[in-house]
């Protein structure tokens, strides 16, 4: 059971991003009940990714003997900076294309998020290289 839990936790970031991508894709549907489910999926996916990322930052900082508080502060600073920038950009997307504009922007950001999560996992599997 412990292996199963560890396996699920190791994929949490990617799983959350995929849930949010599916939810955003479903949000293009017209019926209100599908839209409500879609937005719920986006919110759940977002919070799963955010929780996994903040936990991973602390774990990596501790593993690399770096100050965990500083690493967490840098993560939160980046989180709120991105929220401010892309929150403002979402207003521009809304003005340009309504909900579809916002959803397309969200999909693009989620694909970037998923790509970064995959790249981090690939790099974590590579053997460490000594720097001369």
> 32-63 and 68-125 are packed helices; what angle lies between their axes, rounded to 10 degrees?
100
- Per-residue pLDDT reduced to its tens digit, 75-124: 999 999 999 999 999 999 999 999 999 999 999 999 999 998 888 888 77
Residues 6+ apart with CB under 8 A from 10: 121
- Per-residue pLDDT reduced to its tens digit, 35-77: 999 999 999 999 988 888 888 888 888 888 889 899 999 999 9
Query: What's the CA gap between 26 and 33, in Å, rounded?
Result: 11
Q: Residue 6: what pLDDT? A: 56
Q: Give the up-direction half-sphere exposure of residue 69: CA atoms within 13 A in the CB hemisphere.
A: 0
- For residue 91, how far is the Cα from the chain centroid? 20
């Amino acid at each position: 059971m412990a292996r199963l839990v560890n396996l699920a936790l190791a994929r949490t970031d990617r799983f959350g991003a995929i849930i949010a991508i599916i939810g955003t894709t479903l949000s293009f549907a017209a019926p209100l009940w599908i839209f409500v489910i879609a937005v719920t999926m986006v919110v759940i996916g977002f919070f799963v990714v955010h929780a996994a990322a903040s936990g991973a930052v602390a774990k990596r900082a501790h593993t690399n003997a770096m100050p965990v508080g500083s690493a967490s502060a840098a993560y939160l600073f980046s989180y709120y900076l991105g929220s401010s920038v892309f929150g403002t950009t979402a207003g521009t997307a809304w003005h340009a294309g309504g909900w579809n504009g916002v959803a397309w922007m969200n999909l693009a950001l989620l694909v970037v998020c998923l790509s970064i999560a995959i790249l981090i996992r690939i790099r974590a599997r590579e053997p460490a290289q000594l720097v001369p």
